[in-house]
Structure 1
Amino acid sequence: MKQLTGQVNYTSYWVYRGWLDATSFDKKWWEDKTRRQPIIAAPQQIGIVPFNCIDAGGWYWTAGAASNKFITINSSIQELNVSYQAIFSVSRAINGINRKTGKPNGLEDRINHTQRISKIIMDVK
């Protein structure tokens, strides 16, 4: 199950699902407080309804995150590559970079779990 974070990602997903009219708010509303902001009604429906949770995860992966300029995360994938750099690239596409560390948050855990799981799923020793 995946979750969306950030109002820009929620807004884009709400428009995708048809729950929010793209003309009901101003473009780049986050840059100017006087612009009309989107109203995300019932954001909890992403986590309450299993279909919505799975759909949001698939949408996020395909549409890309705001932090990745809405470029599909698939563009960061290197098939069968579980190296530090490959995991870093995917993590950056999903979560962006922490300004203090210069790395995606939780990178070491992601590397450890990805490489551990790859030994089972990819039949690697």
Structure 2
Amino acid sequence: MYKTMGLITSSYDWRGGNCDREDAQKFRGRGFKQLTFRSNYADYWLYRAWIEQSSFTASWWSDPQYHAKHRALMTKIPARVDNPEVIATVPENCLDSGAWYITCLRPKVVRAIDSDSFNIPKTAAELAKEEQIIKDVTRSINGALIGLDKRIKFTRMIKGLLL
């Protein structure tokens, strides 16, 4: 567990509006599409009207002290999201945040997803097409083919449930 937490902390601190190691853990991926980073949480909280734009400085990560990794010296105010765990603990938020992320922040991904079939592939051509769509979607969201085998497995599992 410690190594996982360390990986999260070291990979997400001072990125995506996260202001330190604590933010890296606090604003880790949660929900159906793994909402990650303080900036994305802030945008989702705005969408849900749980916070107001006037309560923080837009693009606080452009503060020179943010780049110097001096949170206490920042003049731009980061968004305050006190309860990020509601993404994972409330089922509706889990799905809603994923739908929000994909439709508002990644509309091209929606078109790629829509090009897939609802059916479980049966032929080699159908398998190849489905796998290519999953690869395209994964690259678009993560920048690499992270967890591809699981993504293929879970896509087929969901298709089986929906049929």
Corresponding residue for 2:59? 28
Cα distance change on mapping 1:15 and 1:122 into 2, 3 Å? closer
Larger Rg: 2
Normalised by the size of structure 2, how large is the TM-score? Answer: 0.55
Q: Give SS of 1:76's match.
A: helix
Structure with greater helix share of residues: 2
TM-fit CA distance, 1:109: 3.1
The size of the alignment, in residue pairs, is: 109
Relative to the length of structure 1, the TM-score reads 0.69
1:5 equivalent in structure 2: 36
Could you tell me the percent identity over the aligned residues? 34
Q: Which runs of 5+ in 2 are unaligned?
A: 1-30, 67-73, 118-128
Q: Which string of whole-angstrom CA distances, capped at 9 and with x for unpartnered residues, describes residues 34-74 of structure 1?
A: 321101021111222222222212212212xxxxxx23230
The Cα of 1:93 is off from its aligned counterpart by: 2.6
**3-state SS of the aligned residue for 2:130?**
coil
What is the 5 A alignment of 1:1-125? Answer: 2=32, 3-32=34-63, 33=66, 34=74, 35-63=76-104, 70-72=105-107, 73-77=109-113, 78-80=115-117, 81-84=129-132, 86-94=133-141, 96-97=142-143, 103-111=144-152, 113=153, 117=157, 120=160
SS in 2 for 1:83: helix
Against the structure 1 CA distance between its residues 27 and 115, is the aligned structure 2 distance closer, same or farther, given a 3 Å change threshold?
closer
SS of 1:82's partner is helix
- What amino acid is the match of 1:38? A
1:19, 1:115 → 2: CA distance?
Answer: 32
1:115 CA drift (Å): 7.2
User: Gaps (5+ residues) in structure 1?
Assistant: 64-69, 98-102
